[in-house]
Structure 1
């Protein structure tokens, strides 16, 4: 057994993903270094100004954009959105309500509805098996 533990570290891309921010928009020192688990926890607990600003105004990574628009990441791609978007751009899309966005929101609603149906069915089956 080891008598000392080494700090668990991660690449900046992994840390950015865990923080929900777009890596190219982060400060250079964040992009160029490694992030320890302790540092990540500190960033989550007490976000610095740059992190608060990115989370508020973006640019946001595609998973965050998809969530804010209520569509899947694949739906974003089908709609032609392949880059990170700012909060302002996301709000403009919500206001403009392009046809692709309405279609993808409807598709996502159906996916959620089907997932809920399957979950309910499985719960009922599990209850019957008891």
Structure 2
């Protein structure tokens, strides 16, 4: 009995997430079809102009917006930002530097410091166990 290897496919939403783009801003043929793993790899390796343009100017999905602003997705939600933003809108927010953005950036910095502290503590405990 021969085993047939099936092509792994994904929904457009999953592919858009993996590509870091906002699905509703992608071309209709991308939104309406399925994307194979091979096609996704090709898009990542040699992005077409529409993908390069989306990555450059947006609109960007919330995880990308949060990353570009240096805040968490939850921080965006607390600030009332629930929609995709363009690079221009993100740059304007950075220039404006509203109080909520300053507060969320500080919170994010604290979260990162705590994560580093916990990682170092865990490594020290592991080293102590190895030496014992």
Alignment of 1:33-44 (within 5 A): 33-44=33-44
Measure, in 1, the Cα distance between the counterparts of 2:64 and 2:119.
Answer: 25
Q: Give the equivalent residue in structure 1 for 2:117.
A: 117
RMSD of Structure 2 on Structure 1 (CA): 0.8
- In the alignment, the residues of structure 1 paired with residue 108 and residue 4 of structure 2 have an alpha-carbon distance, to the nearest angstrom, of 48
Cα separation, 2, equivalents of 1:97 and 1:80: 15
Residue aligning to 1:96: 96
1:1-130 residue pairs with structure 2 within 5 A?
Answer: 2-130=2-130
SS at match of 2:39: helix
Partners of 1:35 and 1:2 in 2: how far apart? 26
How does the TM-score come out when normalised to structure 1? 0.98
Q: Aligned to 1:59, what secondary structure does the other structure show?
A: coil
In the alignment of these two chains, the number of paired residues is: 130
Distance 2:56 2:90 in 1: 12
**Partners in 1 of 2:46 and 2:70 — Cα distance?**
28
Report the CA distance shift for 1:124/1:12 in structure 2 as closer, same or farther (over 3 A).
Answer: same
Comparing 45-54 and 1-10, the one that deviates more: 1-10
Shift of 1:83: 0.2
- Equivalent position SS for 1:110: helix
CA distance in 1, matches of 2:2, 2:96: 59
After superposition, the C-alpha distances for 1:39-65 in whole angstroms (9 at most, x for unaligned) are 000000000000000000000000000
Partner secondary structure for residue 95 of structure 1: helix
